[in-house]
Structure 1
């Protein structure tokens, strides 16, 4: 027979910590203490307001909740609670499982939505015996730990990719380095047998401009041609863009839009600049992007993709404009790239693709752990799992 855990209102087991005098802009990048805000990102501060185990909640915008054990600080738009007579981490997980309800029901307001604090404090919190609380925290912490490990692997692999790109685009691949000398060029030192070419070299490339679909095409979702925007590019997780938020009909291509062939490169050149992707099939795109069609077999599209990816900051710096920054066609045409012999381009591309595959595998593992965490969290808190019988 399943035991029903007793409950208490959150206000009965909580102490509200001091209101913070610090604004978000008071955060530093070199502070000693974590600085919690209403957003997801945790900043730092050189002063702390609380110590020990505490819970931090956003009070404006949308619902977020965080737990921390130690000295910490928080912004004026963040509410901090200390828990008494119940495990703080257990209460944190109980709030976390209700976060959607808190966001949809307890955040209200005509302008910026705010947490209705008194209603929040009236939430009923289940309180099982202490050994059960401890076991629940142990189970959920273990899964969360696996997620954190995956995060660390992903970040380390991204750092490896970044350093590999810097090395490969300067020295080339190890199998080609024996006896190799470098030469100074306008884009820095590169192997002496590499060339420097411009994206405006019409023998090698064609730069295509994006356009708006025909105004007669009113329903993008029923179209057949993917239509790329900078926002689509900003959300990519792989080198290839597979789908888009909008689509246009073939008729929509008659006026004012450009169809980019497969194996082309698409680059966001406005709001924001520097996102890049490869095309596996023809797609259309708007004025916020430019397409690079590779016309000669001496250029490997994947090699060019990774080089442009390694130069995101430089491409952003080339943008001009007072209202919004844009990378002009002339600046893109004058952008210089290294061009190794074809076999070395292919090997560089293969190395970096292997690293990207590793990142994708680790992301998928992380997503599986996240789904497991959500499932276990909900089932435990709904008492659908007999925690006492779990061998953990």
Structure 2
């Protein structure tokens, strides 16, 4: 390893590395229409596995590349498979580590040009002329091993996130029907609930329900305005923000306070009713596709009510008016929506249990984000030879 670099059509690489067009490494083949559904062989489309069939089109490990739809998406397939007719697959004719090539094509991304249809499309000749940086085979394997180690850590983190989410969902179902430590239950309009609980309308436990501001938004301005895409995992987050300029009276009317609950009142049917609690520091207002609920703090805990509305999104959809492409929940119907009402101290205990799990989920999501940043940085360094690997050492 001399540390010297040379110029290539795709930038500087180590002197002893090569660059090939993909057609020099593999034959680019068209996938085929699925013969019939049912079986144990995965059918790979441009977005990944979408069906199963009874016999493979490809017996060998390959990369399947989206041709239409998600054009340019790359999928590593190490088992017999059936690439669909919206994809290409590779039939290798030169020694190359398939995982190395997968990481290379994932980092140096392909893109589709627009065909005559409405779907983006990738042409075979474009793919055949794709440049591949080609280190010696032992280095390819080592690079792939290092990046695979990071991927395994990401997969473990994903599994933990899934586990905690499943646990949270199960606890929500149990806590909002059985409560904590109850032995006596009664029937109610919401099903069986603890005998000490009540069932009330949202309108009875809030100060008010209010539509947000319908006003032109800007990239800069006096006050950040929360939109429906700022509600993430049950919380209002300082993301996807726009800004508005307001007089003092209007600002005071729409200023969000900690503990306010925002419900997405207009969206696709799948997303309408999405709910989040506002707990941010600073001066924020909210946009017109949201309804702000201000809970009566001596009656209901904001976090408890938020979690219940998240659990009840399917029921919230049922009170929505459906249009051609959107659904709408109006404030009048929302105030009639029934919710369980435990004693206030039990509400807070239920919310605290769920917040503890949410904190674990958020910690794992942060870990995953850090691992993904690490992977991206390592791909940039390893795939270009800015950092050279030592062949023969195990990756940690």
TM-score when normalising by structure 1: 0.86
Residue 265 (1) aligns with residue 273 (2): no
CA RMSD for the aligned pairs?
Answer: 2.6
Contact preservation (8 Å) 2:61, 2:79: yes
**1:31 to partner: Cα distance:** 6.2
Residue 114 (1) aligns with residue 130 (2): no
CA deviations on 1:326-357 (whole Å, 9 max, x unpaired) are: 12323211211111111111111111111011
| Structure 2 residues not aligned, in runs of 5+ | 4-14
Distance 1:318 1:81, change over 3 A: farther
Residue 229 (1) aligns with residue 232 (2): no
In the aligned structure 2, how far is the partner of 1:73 from the partner of 1:64? 16
Partner of 2:77: 68
In the aligned structure 2, how far is the partner of 1:262 from the partner of 1:162? 25
Partner of 1:193: 196
Contact preservation (8 Å) 1:210, 1:291: yes
Partner of 2:43: 35
**1:109 to partner: Cα distance:** 5.5
CA deviations on 1:292-341 (whole Å, 9 max, x unpaired) are: 11124121101111111111122123222232221232321121111111
Partner of 2:278: 279
Distance 1:238 1:307, change over 3 A: closer
**1:163 to partner: Cα distance:** 0.4
In the aligned structure 2, how far is the partner of 1:169 from the partner of 1:261? 26
SS in structure 2 of the partner of residue 387 of structure 1: coil
Residue 95 (1) aligns with residue 97 (2): no
SS in structure 2 of the partner of residue 250 of structure 1: coil
In the aligned structure 2, how far is the partner of 1:240 from the partner of 1:156? 23
Partner of 2:64: 56
In the aligned structure 1, how far is the partner of 2:59 from the partner of 2:314? 39
1:73-222 aligned at under 5 Å gives the runs 73-84=82-93, 85-99=95-109, 102-103=110-111, 107=113, 112-173=119-180, 176-177=181-182, 180-201=183-204, 204-213=206-215, 218=216, 220-222=218-220
Contact preservation (8 Å) 2:133, 2:384: no
Distance 1:73 1:269, change over 3 A: farther
In the aligned structure 2, how far is the partner of 1:183 from the partner of 1:267? 30
Distance 1:225 1:211, change over 3 A: same
TM-score when normalising by structure 2: 0.85
Contact preservation (8 Å) 2:34, 2:43: no
CA deviations on 1:195-245 (whole Å, 9 max, x unpaired) are: 1111121x54421122402xxxx5523223332332332xx1462433442
In the aligned structure 1, how far is the partner of 2:59 from the partner of 2:207? 60
In the aligned structure 1, how far is the partner of 2:17 from the partner of 2:178? 64
